Amino acid sequence: MNLRPALVAAFLLALSVPGCVAFEHAPVKTLACDPDLVGRWHADRDGPGPGREIVIDAKCEAQWPVHERAVEVSLRGYTQGATRYVVLSPEHAQRMLGSEGQIKLEDSVPRHAVFMVAYRIEGDRLQAWLPDPDRVNAAIRDGKARGRPLQNGDASSVLVQGNARGIARLLAQGPEPVFGPLKPEASALQLQRVAGSVLAATSPGAAP
């Protein structure tokens, strides 16, 4: 079963890169709302609900367009240096799959496991990146990370193992070991903020 396209499909992107990366625990105990996410966004190119807006409220609860409807998902996360992360539960990632989702993400990962997306915001533009399973598997082979094949996943799907502090230490090295160098041309999603849509929110969390 190829879970990497399933995770990308969670963002309704037509990518076909094999493999998937899950994390045994979130890197922080308490996730926070990034105030810069709050507002209304639309996709620059291929993205969720073409022609429809993504609406994110002051608690980072998002109305995410899926086909002809919107699903509610939490886009809370944390910040590590210059990189911000959304931390998704399998349940919320599954909601983003919509009615066509055939893969039960929660059946493929341990309890408390999460999926993560790295993103950066410059002005009114947001770019997001998914983990690179090849880089993660290389880090595991080199002893820089702990992990094992993901249950029911394909050969490159991997679960990054460790408690919250251990996974935070891995990401404290920068996004490269997990996500790559975050080049704009490699981003999985690009969004543009709708003018005048910024609202107030709580401050984002920081890594321990």
Q: What is the pLDDT of residues 154-166, one digit of tens each?
A: 667 899 999 999 9
User: What is the reported pLDDT for 12?
Assistant: 40
Domain-located, residue 206: no
User: What is the reported pLDDT for 145?
Assistant: 95
Q: Which domain holds residue 157?
A: 3-34+77-186
Collect the ranges in the chain with pLDDT lower than 70: 1-19, 44-51, 97-103, 152-155, 197-208
Domain count of the fold of the chain: 1
User: What is the reported pLDDT for 26?
Assistant: 97
Domain-located, residue 44: no
User: What is the reported pLDDT for 60?
Assistant: 97
pTM of the full structure: 0.82
Q: Residue 108 has which token pair?
A: 């493929």
Domain-located, residue 208: no
* pLDDT tens-digit series, residues 9-47: 444 433 333 468 999 999 999 999 999 999 999 876 555
Domain-located, residue 50: no
Domain-located, residue 17: yes
User: What is the reported pLDDT for 14?
Assistant: 31
User: What is the reported pLDDT for 59?
Assistant: 97
User: What is the reported pLDDT for 55?
Assistant: 94
Domain-located, residue 98: yes
Domain-located, residue 108: yes
d(CA 114, CA 5): 16
Domain-located, residue 14: yes
CA distances from residue 151 to 65, 105, 109, 142, 168 in whole angstroms, order as listed: 29, 10, 7, 22, 23
